[in-house]
Amino acid sequence: MIRHVITICAGLLVALAVQAQPQPQWFAVNMNCTYTPEKATCTIQNNGSIPMFCNLRADGQLANNQVIYTYLNDWVPPGQFRYVYVYTSPPYPRLVGALGGGQCHF
């Protein structure tokens, strides 16, 4: 009986220790975007000293008010950039705007 109690207590301690691990703190990021009628490019830079992981999205606004988008999930090393692209080509309407953002954590 005491053996079962000790086993249960040990299991609970392990479970609590695993839950107590710090979770990554996500933060919102804005991206710098430029566009031409055929391509939108949104850029993010890691100015920190350690790699960060980002979930990014770039939106392209078409001339007919539709929005097209692209996702990118990737690590960004210190001092490096990540680019997210949105493309269109004839016979589809041209791009008239671009917006990008996402969530990152160190």
Domain boundaries along the sequence of the chain: 24-105
91 cis-preceded (ω within 30 degrees of 0) = yes
> What's the CATH number for 24-105?
2.60.40.3230
pLDDT(14) > 90: no
Query: pLDDT tens digit string along 58-106?
Result: 999 999 999 999 999 999 999 999 999 999 998 999 999 999 999 999 9
